[in-house]
Amino acid sequence: MERLDLDKEPAYAGLEASIHIARYALASSLVKGKRVLDISCGEGYGTYLLKQFGASHVIGVDVSAEAIERAQKKFGGNEIYFQTLDASELERAFEACSFDVIVSIETVEHLSDPGAFLRSLKVVATRNAVIIVTCPNDYWYFPTPEERNPYHLKKYQFEDFRRLANGVLGEHGCWSLGTASFGFTTTPLKTSQNYAEIPGSWLRYMRVDGAFLVNGGDISSIEPKVSSYFVGVWGVSEPLVAAAFLPLSMDDYASMVRALDLDRAQCERASANIARLNTCIEEMKIKCAALEEEREQLQIRAERAERDLGLRLRAVTMENELIRNNLATIRHDRDQLLQKHEFLPTTGHDDGCPYFIGHTRYMRLRKLLPPLLRRLLLRVFRFIKRRRI
């Protein structure tokens, strides 16, 4: 919930109240008798609480004129003032060294120039002022780069926020983390007894002195990336610790514990499944590596075979070309020889062997002639041949 609507009680009123009041509780022991500035005050319930904590006077500023109007109606007066003001214009609105305590709850993520805003805090703060600046851990609520709070211009991780704030306000800041809590409390028999009303709203609260933070987060491993918001404080010697908690019946508590046990069992099963999946993934990686190596070897063989096939194809092509050239030469020589001996007409056709054709004709004619005439013609042919020689 970006801003509490004090006229309309939300579905989880106690939870929402604790989330918002826990941040203002940080300043509860620091504002007594001080001049306090509450930046991004919304409808003013935090400004009112700061005055109840003992501030001499408190000014709440917010960019929303509607929110300031509602805040003025509910909480204005008795040294509580409200003003419509963009957080980047503090130096224009206030004189230097005007405030002993400055509270900036979830402001920097809304600004296009947060560095200039932080520098203006130093200007309007007194020399030994306490400056409290918080920033939401949007990366827990909106983990992916595409997700974001529509009201925020920038998402900050803890180191980004600390680097920004330390760079302007100084390296001597004390750092805390905002997170959920789980434990036990003692409440009056009548749960509504001794709760203070925040005027004109559904909010109720009770200040508690006898409270302890147990184990300091060592067991639950609290760290920035799994927290709800980050807190930087300048002007104090120790990190601030504060809380706003909601009493529960033991039945509700038991339901939560059972849900936690169920979640833990589910997490353990999920962890076992993840371990098995990781093992399978590693095995698949090994198989994939082997297959990739085999593929590379096959590719090398295929390239080599393709290269050899290309060489063989070129050799066969050259050999065929040589055979065609030789055949053409042989045919040319044959045609020349045939023309010389007049076995065939000079047409270049090779419909049969001329020698075979001439021999066949001779044998046919030989059968038609009487033996005496054949011998006579043979003598004449030999005589003519000797005369030519």
Closest by alpha carbon to 129, among 34, 53, 54?
34
Q: What angle do CA 94, 99, 102 make, to 5 degrees?
A: 105
Token output for 3: 């801003």
User: CB of 235 within 8 A of CB of 129?
Assistant: yes
CA distances from 304 to 105, 290, 298, 308 (A): 71, 21, 10, 6
Residues 6+ apart with CB under 8 A from 142: 148, 149, 155
pLDDT of res. 6: 83
CA–CA separation, 310 and 47 (whole Å): 87
Token output for 121: 């805090």
pLDDT of res. 327: 83
Q: pLDDT tens digits, residue range 94-152?
A: 999 999 999 999 999 999 999 999 999 999 999 999 999 999 999 999 999 889 999 99
pLDDT of res. 359: 59
The amino acid sitting at 197 is E
pLDDT of res. 346: 45
pLDDT of res. 219: 61
Which strand ranges, in their side-by-side order, compose the sheet holding 99-104? 80-84, 57-62, 35-39, 99-104, 125-136, 229-234, 174-178
CA distances from 33 to 30, 50, 57, 109, 291 (A): 9, 11, 8, 30, 76
SS3 333: helix
pLDDT in tens, the chain (389 residues): 567 778 788 877 788 888 889 999 999 999 999 999 999 999 999 999 999 999 999 999 999 999 999 999 999 999 999 999 999 999 999 999 999 999 999 999 999 999 999 999 999 999 999 999 999 999 999 999 889 999 999 999 999 999 999 999 999 999 999 998 888 888 888 777 788 888 888 888 888 888 888 876 666 678 899 999 999 999 999 999 999 888 888 888 788 878 877 666 776 777 788 888 888 898 888 988 899 888 889 889 888 888 888 888 888 888 888 888 888 888 887 777 777 655 444 444 444 555 555 556 666 666 677 777 777 777 777 777 777 65
CA distances from 25 to 132, 201, 207, 371 (A): 11, 18, 9, 149
Torsion sign, CA atoms 30, 35, 38, 42? positive
DSSP one-letter code for 238: S
